[in-house]
């Protein structure tokens, strides 16, 4: 039963979470491409500079999610999941998650012990926020749903992920591309600091539909690129 509940993960709440709009398309993922090389007639020194630029491009995106229970810092896999990373960053910079967009802060609205914590779509009143268009599922990027990784929530439609995400609190290989729910759930980052906060959220008492009885709010999201 626990695993089956994750299939309609983005539209889990029967009354308040049937918003079918979703996140921005993956076109912004193209911005992760190496910088232009329009200095073909320059010297070898310039060629070396281009090589350095390529190396810089390999640097992942860092994000800190401040919650009402503490901070969680993530390393996003921009190279392995460019569409998903760009999508998450787009929401973060627009103030969608922390409510600086004027439409309310989102929460960790679904928590299942020994499984995962899910958030990024519902407000403190359990109202689903309007999202951008869905994105393509990047679950084939070689990353596994291990403890501490962050993945995109979705419905049974593989390409339905929008703003909602979940952080695995245990190894969940059944959520990978070759697991129980093909083509799987796209991993796009991992916790590098604040796993104790994730564990604390996981232990919050829950009620109906795995909703925490103590509201866990996302108060700010800072992107470092």
Segment 48-66 shows an average pLDDT of 63
Share of the chain above pLDDT 70, in %: 74
The pLDDT mean for the chain works out to 81
Segment 36-55 shows an average pLDDT of 37
Q: For the segment 146-166, what is each residue's pLDDT rounded down to a tens digit?
A: 999 999 999 999 999 999 999
Lowest mean pLDDT among 56-60, 63-67, 118-122: 56-60
Domains and CATH numbers, the chain: 60-224 (2.40.100.10)
Question: How crowded is residue 38: how many other Cβ atoms within 10 Å of its Cβ?
Answer: 8
pLDDT over 70 (residue 2): no
What integer pLDDT is reported at residue 225 of this predicted model?
80
Q: For the segment 98-128, what is each residue's pLDDT rounded down to a tens digit?
A: 999 999 999 999 999 999 999 999 999 999 9
Q: Is 153 within 8 Å of 161 (Cβ atoms)? A: yes
Q: Which two tokens stand for residue 222?
A: 């800072």
Query: What does the alpha-carbon distance between residue 148 and residue 72 come to, in Å, rounded to a whole number?
Result: 10
Torsion of CA 92, 95, 96, 100, to 10 degrees: 150
pLDDT class of 60 with cuts at 50, 70, 90:
confident
Highest mean pLDDT among 11-15, 38-42, 45-49, 99-103: 99-103
Choice between 194 and 12, residue whose per-residue pLDDT is larger: 194
Q: For the segment 164-181, what is each residue's pLDDT rounded down to a tens digit?
A: 999 999 999 999 999 999
pLDDT class of 59 with cuts at 50, 70, 90:
low
Which residues are paired to 212 by β-bridges? 206
Query: What does the alpha-carbon distance between residue 9 and residue 156 come to, in Å, rounded to a whole number?
Result: 8
Q: For the segment 82-96, what is each residue's pLDDT rounded down to a tens digit?
A: 999 999 999 999 999
Q: For residue 31, count CB atoms less than 10 angstroms from its CB and return exposed for 0-12, middle for 13-18, buried for 19 or more.
A: exposed
pLDDT class of 58 with cuts at 50, 70, 90:
low
Give the three-class secondary structure for 51: helix
> What would you measure as the largest C-alpha separation in the chain, in angstroms?
67
What integer pLDDT is reported at residue 93 of this predicted model?
98
Number of residues in the chain: 225
């Amino acid at each position: 039963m626990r695993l089956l509940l994750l299939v309609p993960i983005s539209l889990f709440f029967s009354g308040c979470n049937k918003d079918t709009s979703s996140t921005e398309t993956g076109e912004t993922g193209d911005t992760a491409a190496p910088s232009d090389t329009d200095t073909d007639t320059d010297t070898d020194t310039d060629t070396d500079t281009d090589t350095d630029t390529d190396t810089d491009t390999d640097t992942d995106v860092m994000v800190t999610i401040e919650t009402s229970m503490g901070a969680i810092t993530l390393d996003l896999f921009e190279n392995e999941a460019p569409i998903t990373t760009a999508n998450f960053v787009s929401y973060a910079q627009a103030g969608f998650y922390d409510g600086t967009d004027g439409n309310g802060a989102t929460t960790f609205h679904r928590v299942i012990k020994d499984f995962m914590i899910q958030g990024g779509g519902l407000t403190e009143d359990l109202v689903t926020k309007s999202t951008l268009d869905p994105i393509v599922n990047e679950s084939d990027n070689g990353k596994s749903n291990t403890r501490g990784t962050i993945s995109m929530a979705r419905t049974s439609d593989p390409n339905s992920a929008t703003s909602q995400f979940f952080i695995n609190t245990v190894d969940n290989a059944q959520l990978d591309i070759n697991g129980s729910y093909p083509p799987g759930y796209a991993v796009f980052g991992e916790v590098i600091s604040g796993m104790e906060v994730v564990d604390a959220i996981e232990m919050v008492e829950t009620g109906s539909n795995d909703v925490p009885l103590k509201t866990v709010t996302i108060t700010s999201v800072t992107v470092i690129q």
